[in-house]
Amino acid sequence: MPDHHHLFGPFVRRFLLEEVAADRNLSLNTQRSYRDAIRLLLRFIAEHHALDPTRVTVEQVTAEVLRAFLAHLEGNRKNSVTTRNQRLFAIHSLFRFVGRQVPELVEQATQIQAIPPRCAQTPVMAYLDKDEIDALLDMPNRQRSQGRRDYALLLFLYNTGARASEAATMTIGDLALGVAPSVRLVGKGRKIRLCPLWAHTAGVLHDLVEARLDGPREAPVFLNVRGKPITRFGIHTLVARAAEKAAKTRPSLQSKPVSPHTIRHTTAVHLLRAGVDINTIRAWLGHVSLETTNRYAEVDLEMKAKALKSCAVHGPKTVAAPAPLWRRDSELMAFLTSL
């Protein structure tokens, strides 16, 4: 291998350990996302270009190779446009790092970063009506310990609009269950926000963790059936199971995708309908951009427009003018007919 070629592996290692983990201190989920994108890229290069991943050079990871990799993600792996773009952003970030480290690689890094993300259609924002979320909350059997855990988790998701990852990583120390109950949530980018809790939610959570309140404050609130911290995938499974059962009593749920994020959307829409302003909802849900929260306003406007249409006033009905007097005079009409 010529001296002017640079092995790809050392840059990947430094990028993940120094740039992503140490310098930028990105969340564990983001670190894993970057790692997975690079791993898929190296696997693609090994399979389609017969190259040993340990011997791949930066110079061999060209813009053409990356475009073929992105096409492979969508065509062969059936990734969505959103997932494809996430992989691309990770590779962009890696090559920004490479360009800063080695000036002679700046041109190649620029070519890689010039590959644009693809436009993705904004998905329809599904949310549940009040009777549907009530049906979901009625599903857990609260006579059993697992049912009480399931109910507490579903109620918590609806109260706070928390992401599945936020609920999974929430600890006992994050809860304040006193006079003004609240919870401390750690969201994307490790942004911390406080969210108020209903008195009922606080009581349910207190009952759930009461036996562990004297234990470690960093202990997770929600545990699985084996007593281990529940994962975000476990939360997805729990919500899907409850929705499947609830659909038997609320057929409208059969046509709706129900996930933890659906409950998050539901919280936002219900807050909006209750008169809570957009900025408060933005802080409540931990959105970085107000534009994200504004989508809930659009959803609610659609709902209001449908409601308005259903009770629209179309103006007074047209009343036919009374027949002229001469037409109502039978003797006159008979006389005219006889002429």
Structure-block tokens of residue 53 = 């991943």
Tokens of 21: 């983990």
296 is catalytic: yes
Domains of the chain by residue range: 8-113, 130-310
Per-residue pLDDT of the chain (339 residues; tens, 9 = 90+): 445 689 999 999 999 999 999 999 888 888 999 999 999 999 999 999 999 999 999 999 999 999 999 999 999 999 999 999 999 999 999 999 999 999 999 999 999 999 999 987 766 678 899 999 999 999 999 999 999 999 999 999 999 999 999 999 999 999 999 889 999 999 887 889 999 999 999 999 999 999 999 999 999 999 999 999 999 999 999 999 999 999 999 999 999 999 999 999 899 888 888 888 888 888 888 876 656 666 666 665 555 555 445 454 555 555 555 655 545 555 555 555 554
Decide if 226 is catalytic.
no
Catalytic pick from 72, 261, 265, 282? 261
CA dihedral 290, 295, 296, 297 (to 10 degrees): 90
Please give the model's pTM, rounded to 2 decimal places: 0.69
Rounded CA separation 101/24 (Å): 16
Q: Is position 270 annotated as part of the catalytic site? A: no
Is 265 known to be catalytic? Answer: no
Which position among 250, 270, 282, 287 bears the catalytic label? 287
Does residue 163 have an active-site annotation?
yes
Annotated catalytic, 264? yes
Options 84, 87, 149, 163, the catalytic residue: 163
Fold exhibited by the domain 8-113: DNA polymerase; domain 1 (1.10.150)
Q: Which of 188, 206, 236, 295 is catalytic?
A: 188
Is 130-310 in CATH node 1.10.443.10? yes
Torsion over CA: 241, 247, 248, 254 (sign)? negative
Catalytic residue among 72, 92, 149, 264: 264
